[in-house]
Amino acid sequence: MRGCSLEAYIEEPGLTEGQRRRLRLFQTVEEAVSRRVERLCTSSEIEVTDAAILVVSPAARRAFFRIDARGSAEAPGASVIVDHRARLHEFLHAVLPPVDEAPFDPYVDLLAPSPPQCVRVLIVDEDSLTVLNYGAFVVVNLDRREMPKA
C-alpha cells in the first residue's frame, strides 16, 4: 500500500489529466525541493509555513523568464524557485499578471501561511496552474549554549 505518498494521490479519480501531469512534474523535482526548503528555513528567518515553491514546466518557461528560444534547445526538467510566499506572490504578479477579467487573484493562496509543517507549491505548465500544500517539514534549531555539557 502506498499510503499518503504523492504517487497514491496522483491516482485519485477526481483529478484531471492536467493536474496529474503537473503533479508528475513536481515528482521530478520533489527531492531537490525538499533540500532547498530545508536550506532556506535553516539559513534564514523564513518559517516553513511561509516558504513557497514555484515549479515551472519547460514549456511554460518562456512566459516566466522571457527566454528567447530561437536557436536554443529547451533545457530538460522544470525550473524551481523557492522563496518567501509574499515575494513569490509579487514575482508572479510582475511576470504573469492576472487578466483584468479574472474573478479572483490566481495566486491568492500565497497570501496565507501554509498549514503547519507544510509549504505551498504552485506548479505551472503550458495549460494551467495547480496549487498544493506539500510535506511534513520539521525544522529544529539547536543552540549549543543550551545543550548539556559532557
Torsion of Cα atoms, 63 then 34 then 32 then 8, to 10°: -80
What helix, strand, coil percent values describe the chain, rounded to 5?
40, 15, 45
Residue 52, phi then psi, degrees to nearest 5:
-140, 150
| pLDDT tier, 138 (very low <50, low <70, confident <90, very high otherwise) | low
pLDDT at 141 over 60: no
Per the document, the length of the chain is 150
pLDDT tens-digit readout, 34-49: 999 999 988 988 999 9
pLDDT tens-digit readout, 53-108: 999 999 888 777 765 554 445 567 789 999 999 999 999 999 888 888 888 888 89
* Predicted structure pTM score: 0.80
Amino acid at 107: Y
Q: Is 24 left (phi over 0), alpha (psi -120 to 50) or beta?
A: alpha
pLDDT at 146 over 70: no
pLDDT tens-digit readout, 106-135: 889 899 999 998 999 999 998 888 898 888
> What letters, b where the CB count within 10 A reaches 16 and e where it falls short, cover 71-92?
eeeeeeebbbbbbbbeebbebb
Instruction: Say whether 74 sits in a helix, a strand or coil.
Output: coil
Domain ranges of the chain: 6-68+75-146
8 vs 144 pLDDT, higher one: 8
- Which ranges of the chain would DSSP assign to H, the alpha helix? 6-10, 17-43, 61-65, 85-95
- The neighbouring-strand residues paired with 134 are 119
